[in-house]
Amino acid sequence: MAEKSVALGYRGVRIRMFVYEKKLQYPVKITNPNPKYAKIIITQYGGPDGELGASLRYLSQRFAMPYPELKGLLTDIGTEELGHLEMIGTIVYQLTRNLSIDEIKKAGFEDYFVDHTTGIYPQAASGTPWSAAGMQSKGDVITDLSENLAAEQKARTTYDNILRLVDDPDVREPIKFLREREVVHFQRFGEGLRLATDRLDSRNYYMCNPAFDKNCGK
Amino acid sequence: MSTSCRQSALKKLSAAQFTLWELHLYLDTHPGDLQAVALFKKCHAKYTALVSEYEENYGALTGFNAEGAEWLKNPWPWDIEGCE
């Protein structure tokens, strides 16, 4: 056991790929199932401003990033979003446990149920399946970081709207946590944008694209 | 191994991990902040101790650190634990 713990430093782990940790970033324990809430909250799983799109946006954009801080930031935030995806999946799963057909009908959950039973499927609250059309990876540093600032605010608004619709504190607590993470990511992306523009010509940031044009900012 | 015990250990671990993660993201955009680096190191030591303590009592957090079928044991993160 002692040897095991030595191998477990956060930055000292010797495994060369994504590593799954068998815990949520923030605890989710919902006592009362509520399919109505599940139908709303699934939108943060596979909707236009949801966690799946966020994760893929950042983990895709990072390949074009020329600066080490931005490669790190996109990798880290993209990875955290996968943790958020797992939290949202957990919330929807726990909200749809042990449902009777009567409860499903009463909550208007039939349209989700007929396609997915109570499985977790990436779709918007409207029922539209997840689509890469809701995200962009433009290969331009300023464009991509500006997209990310907007994306974090769109997700924050969605969480605000969920909080307007949901009363159960068991559901509100993890949603409030996720909402706050959007605010922190917005802050970090703002700093990332600043780091990028500091390296470019301050009279005209848009003169060239450091992700494509050679000698841009040099 | 009581459920409430596991949950309070998990809460402590998650709080320590959260502190560390926040510092880690901050250091992505402020890599030269030596005060933050020092704080990260301090918090990291505490976190590592909590991980070892948690894993000794409740099983491995990552698959490669698990022995045999230990990895497959319930609960998974999305499970609701009963109060047996």
Is B44's CB within 8 Å of A76's CB?
no
User: HSE on the CB side for A192, CA within 13 Å?
Assistant: 34
CA distance A138 to chain B (A): 22
pLDDT value at position A67? 97
Architecture of domain A32-128+135-200: Up-down Bundle (1.20)
Please give the angle made by the CA atoms of B36, B38 and B44, to the nearest 5 degrees. Answer: 100
Arithmetic mean of pLDDT, B7-29: 96
Task: Give contacts of B44 with chain A, Cβ < 8 Å.
Answer: 9-11
Query: What is the percent of chain A where pLDDT is above 90?
Result: 90
**What are the backbone angles phi and psi of residue B14, rounded to the nearest 5°?**
-65, -35
Cβ-based burial of A173 (10 A; exposed 0-12, middle 13-18, buried ≥19): middle
Residues 61-120 of A with CB under 8 A from B: 69, 72-73, 76-77, 80, 86, 89-90, 93-94, 97
- A198: contact with B, CB 8 A cutoff: no
User: Rounded to an integer, what distance in angstroms lies between the CA atom of residue A32 and that of residue A79?
Assistant: 30
Per residue in A174-198, is it b (16+ CB within 10 Å) or e — as a string? bbebbbebbebbbebbebbbebbbe
Q: Does residue A199 register a pLDDT over 90? A: yes
Is B28's CB within 8 Å of A69's CB?
yes
pLDDT value at position A10? 43
Arithmetic mean of pLDDT, A89-115: 97
pLDDT band at B5 (very low <50, low <70, confident <90, very high): confident
Nearest CA in chain A to B18: A25
Alpha helices in B1-84 (DSSP H): 3-29, 34-58
Nearest CA in chain B to A194: B29
Contacts A–B by Cβ distance under 8 A: 96
Among A2-16, A119-133, A189-203, the minimum mean pLDDT is found in: A2-16
pLDDT band at B4 (very low <50, low <70, confident <90, very high): confident
**3-state SS class at A13:** coil
Is B77's CB within 8 Å of A23's CB?
yes
Boundaries of every domain in chain A: 32-128+135-200
Arithmetic mean of pLDDT, B50-55: 95
- Give A53's contacts (C-beta < 8 A, 6+ positions apart): A46, A47, A130, A132, A134, A135, A151
Among A5-14, A25-34, A163-172, B56-65, the minimum mean pLDDT is found in: A5-14
User: HSE on the CB side for A196, CA within 13 Å?
Assistant: 26
pTM confidence score: 0.92
User: Rounded to an integer, what distance in angstroms lies between the CA atom of residue A84 and that of residue A89?
Assistant: 9
pLDDT value at position B84? 36
Residues 38-77 of B with CB under 8 A from A: 44, 47-48, 51-52, 55-56, 59-65, 71, 76-77
CA distance A188 to chain B (A): 7
- Give A133's contacts (C-beta < 8 A, 6+ positions apart): none
Query: For residue A123, what are the β-bridge partners?
Result: A129
User: Rounded to an integer, what distance in angstroms lies between the CA atom of residue B40 and that of residue A64?
Assistant: 29
DSSP A214: T
Cα separations (Å) of A178 from A186, B14, B46, B70?
13, 14, 25, 30
Is A192's CB within 8 Å of B29's CB?
yes
